[in-house]
Amino acid sequence: MADLMVTMRVMLESPEVNPKDVESKVSKVISDFGAKVGRVEVQDIAFGLKALQFIFIMSESLGATDPLEENISNIEGVRSAEVVGITRTLG
């Protein structure tokens, strides 16, 4: 099976939420799922709200990302988590 490059957007609940705190918690959940985080970007949304964009590599054999999205959505300070892109990697 192939590896997948997944892009996930994690919306924070409010401007008061520290993105670095959420980043470390989400990275741990992604690692526990069996994937490897490659890059994280903080994106300004509006009115001080921020989102974190995670790009990570996972094996196609892990299946759907729905359980991962649900686990991340349950982290304190996270409003939602959504996969916004999946690409098969070569090599």
For position 91, what pLDDT does the model report? 63
Helices (H), 1-91: 19-33, 66-73
* pLDDT block averages, 10 residues each, the chain of length 91: 94 97 98 97 96 97 95 97 94 63
- Per the structure, the complete domain to which residue 49 belongs is given by 3-88
Number of domains within the chain: 1
Residues 29 and 48: their CA atoms lie apart, in Å, by 25
CATH code: domain of residue 15: 3.30.70.60
pTM over 0.85: yes
> Could you give the angle at which helices 66-73 and 19-33 cross, rounded to 10 degrees?
150
Secondary structure E strands in the chain: 3-12, 36-44, 50-59, 78-88
